[in-house]
Structure 1
Amino acid sequence: MGQNRLGSAAGAPPRRGPGAANAPGRRWGWWGIVFVAAFVASIAAGSALKAGESLYLPDASVAQLRDFYAASRSAVLVQSALQILAAVALYRFGWRLRTALHTKGTRAGAVLGWGTAITAGSLFASVVCGLALLLATQAGDTTVAGLGRAALVLGGAAHLLGAGLLIAAASAVAWRSHRRPRWVFGYGRLVGPLVAASALSILLPPLVRPEPAFRLLAAVWLVGTGIAILRGAFDEVR
């Protein structure tokens, strides 16, 4: 009893357990999960709706880009819509996380904010490049090749760089403030820099191939953090 009164007098918020999962103030935790679900769905939809052979951007020639975007308009449009949803979800998740961690005005807050803007913004820009390719199939080779390269870099290296910065900064702050669950933020401190380092694929093209593995590492953190927020574990500071 005395301990509870002391915490109340000090203005400390009451600790809430898993029963607070539906609290309105924690619903933003869904955004991290929505991002992962929408991104995975975009890949599945693109594969299911495509006409002809799949397109592997790193190795695609100008002729292959023209053929794919001319023949697979439905696949590109559905995939683009889902990735726009993913970009919006990721942006909202990152900025709400920055606020929840009370990082405004700090270096970590700046890194988290920039990471969020880069990862969501580059994914959105990649979608714009893909939609532009739908309209530019008859454009010059330089234009088509440039749009294909931009879509690859923005949706891959730049997107993962931002995600790595977001994960590393948020995990560092959450770890120092003893947020729960500890494994999520300990994991984030390790994988955040790895995910960010995958941006070296801009200089070392062979590093493009393991990008799906880096996306999986980021997805585990996003889902784990989202669930922690929804269950109320994230609020516990010990």
Structure 2
Amino acid sequence: MLLPLLLVAFWQVGPMAEEKPVVIPAPTQDLTAQSGSATAVFAGGCFWGVQGVFQHVKGVSMAMAGYAGGAADTATYDQSSSGQTGHAESVQITYDPKVVTYGQLLQIYFSVAHNPTQLNYQGPDHGTQYRSTIFPQNDEQATTAKAYIAQLDATGAFGAPIVTTIEPGKTFYAAEQYHQDFLTLNPTYPYIVYNDLPKVAALKELFPLAYSDQPILVGQL
């Protein structure tokens, strides 16, 4: 599956800024596609929206909401919500690199799933648990992510520096069942309507070759 060389970022800088698209280049560096499945872990605000976006990406076989960055015994919603555990609300993505590459997942992450210029918050959600973070699963992912951040910063496309951190060597822990598939199961929930459904709509509009109308739900696996 091929994506356009130039894609549009959905978010503009600032918590109250009008969301106007800006053009960002596709990654110039990517991982070589290999057989079998691969895993990526991204954090970008509330995991409901991030999970909901990646559940609609072709080549993704699972997108699990959870926590990464802290210890196993604090990987719960109640504890991570304090912002003191080191955890970030995260999504673990299992994907087929022959269908969608790591670089293409990064494109979607930066341009649709969240605003990478907001430090320790996303929209209405504030705290380190909502930080913009990539948890690379290997050195190659870390190198690719760092190179793409540098590339995007060099373009000045977002109007402010990208604050996304790279945190290797962190374990992902699945979130409670009631958080899984929340966007799909609660499409009229006000938070979802205002904050997250526009992200899925942007995915469909800006990444038509990557978009799957039928989401891959954790509850169906």
Q: TM-score range by the shorter chain?
A: under 0.3
Q: Which structure's residues are more often strand, by fraction?
A: 2
TM-score, normalising length from structure 2?
Answer: 0.24
Which structure has the larger Rg?
1
Q: Which has the higher helix share?
A: 1
Which of structures 1 and 2 has the larger relative contact order (alpha carbons within 8 angstroms, sep 6+)? 2
